[in-house]
Amino acid sequence: MTTIHVPRPPKSSMNPNRPASSLLLTQVEQMHAAEKRLPLRYRTDIYINAIRTEREAARYIREVTEAIHQAHADAARSRLQRTPKRTRTLQIAAAADEKPAPVRTIKRASKKENSKTRPKK
């Protein structure tokens, strides 16, 4: 196999204070869309419209990526937690101490009885 020599980039190519390119700002917007789907406790408080330099964009992308990884790790950890073992006995939350009061019902007279007791007109 032949080795391909790739020259190192010059030190002047690294400039974190350079204005962010449109490609980098598009990546920031995509990361912001991903961040909006995270639970509130994992979100950053970085205002993306204020990002102007490559350093600011890199910082934001790093923080959102770490938050996504942390959210996934926490979710995986919560899935692995053991659920309490169910018991086969019936557990009653509350029990009555005395006999309930009887329900009083009103008896209605049947139609036959009504016709006997009513005077005919």
28-82 residue pLDDT tens: 999 999 999 999 999 999 999 999 999 999 999 999 999 999 999 999 998 887 7
Select from 9, 13, 23 the least CA-distant residue to 61.
23
Higher-confidence residue of 108 and 54: namely: 54
DSSP 8-state assignment for residue 55:
H
Is residue 71 within 8 Å of residue 39, measured between CB atoms? Answer: yes
- In degrees and rounded to multiples of 5, residue 71 shows phi and psi of -65, -40
Is residue 43 within 8 Å of residue 35, measured between CB atoms? Answer: yes
